[in-house]
């Protein structure tokens, strides 16, 4: 097991090994029912990137709208995680269902073998729980079923990060600065609604000192506002170092109200807040690692990763 200590001494990170060409990637269904043609198209992209995708047991199961029972989906995740021939795990799709698995996951067993885990949106439930209970780096990025629509630039960025690239910087000239500032802290990237639903459970992450990067889809502006207020009033954001917004696709006819809600929190906490990051439900969905130290600079409009996301 490889561990590294960040500048935040309370947080010991377990980093997964980097991926190499020819590594086997288990495609695991942990949430909603998967369309086979969409998954096969995504697996073809994985092959083009130089890895070997393996459709894991039960990928196309269907039980009450989920890809199997909660316990069975958790068992599949664990079996792929503990398989020594598998170097990474890619979630086939999100939707809803990952949070239902959490009581069935043995985090002590996951902790023993750091491994690449990729997904976003509903997969935030897994990212958060693994981060809290295992202090392990996981990756917020495209699902297998969204890979075919992901831009070439986003794929290159992802491939470099999973292969152990250093000094990656995401420059966002079009970023909207809602509250200026510069901050260094570990990243946590996730879906706003899912993060709200985890609040008050044993799986919510400690976000003290973190640069929190949020995305969502299909929520009206007043629901987004309510979720921001909930996180703020709950104290979850009390010691957050900065808030960055990714894509909020199909979130009502008044996107400026979402920006205003984030701006109000930034002002109340006196922390940097910005919007417009290429993260979430969009074609340019950049992969970002949870737990890795980053630096957000509103003047430069850039997010710089200060350490590699993998063990080597």
The residues that bridge with 289 in the sheet, in sequence order, are: 139
Both structure tokens of 160 = 């470099």
Residues 6+ apart with CB under 8 A from 74: 101, 104, 105
CA distance linking residue 78 with residue 213, whole number of Å: 27
List 6, 210, 215, 219, catalytic entry: 215
List 6, 29, 98, 121, catalytic entry: 121
296 SS3 class: strand
Other beta carbons within 10 Å of 181: 17
Relative to beta strand 3-5, strand 12-14 is antiparallel
CA distance linking residue 95 with residue 33, whole number of Å: 9
List 127, 133, 179, 281, catalytic entry: 281
Compute CA 310 distance to the chain's CA centroid, rounded to the nearest angstrom.
15
Nearest Cα residue to 291 out of 3, 11, 1? 11
Can 232 be counted among the known catalytic residues? no
Can 6 be counted among the known catalytic residues? no
CA distance linking residue 143 with residue 30, whole number of Å: 11
Phi and psi at 234, nearest 5°, equal -75, -15
Can 281 be counted among the known catalytic residues? yes
Tell me which residues are annotated as active site: 121, 215, 281
């Amino acid at each position: 097991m490889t561990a590294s200590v960040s500048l935040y001494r309370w947080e010991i990170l377990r980093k997964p090994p980097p991926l190499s060409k020819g590594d086997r990637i288990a495609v695991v269904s942990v949430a909603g029912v998967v369309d086979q043609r969409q998954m096969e198209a995504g697996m073809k992209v994985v092959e083009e990137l130089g890895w070997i995708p393996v459709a894991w047991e039960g990928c196309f199961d269907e039980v009450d709208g989920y890809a199997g029972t909660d316990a069975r989906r958790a068992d599949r995740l664990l079996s792929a995680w503990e398989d020594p021939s598998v170097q990474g795990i890619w979630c086939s799709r999100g939707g809803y269902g990952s949070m239902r698995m959490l009581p069935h996951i043995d985090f002590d067993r996951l902790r023993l073998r750091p491994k690449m885990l990729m997904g976003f949106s509903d997969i935030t439930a897994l990212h958060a729980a693994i981060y809290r209970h295992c202090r392990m780096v996981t990756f917020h990025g495209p699902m297998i079923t969204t890979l075919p629509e992901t831009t070439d630039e986003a794929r290159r960025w992802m491939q470099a990060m999973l292969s152990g690239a250093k000094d990656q910087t995401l420059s966002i000239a079009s970023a909207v600065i809602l509250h200026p500032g510069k901050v260094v802290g570990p990243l946590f990237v996730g879906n706003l609604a899912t993060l709200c639903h985890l609040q008050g459970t044993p799986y919510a992450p400690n976000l003290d000192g973190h640069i929190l990067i949020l995305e969502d889809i299909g929520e009206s502006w007043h629901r987004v506002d309510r979720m921001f207020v909930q996180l703020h009033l709950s104290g979850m954001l009390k010691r957050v170092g900065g808030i960055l917004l990714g894509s909020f696709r199909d979130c009502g006819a008044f996107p400026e109200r979402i920006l205003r809600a984030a701006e109000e929190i930034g002002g109340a906490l006196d922390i940097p807040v910005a919007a417009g990051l290429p993260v979430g439900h969009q074609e340019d969905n950049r992969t970002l690692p949870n737990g890795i130290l980053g630096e957000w600079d509103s003047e430069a409009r850039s997010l710089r990763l200060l350490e590699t996301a993998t063990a080597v």
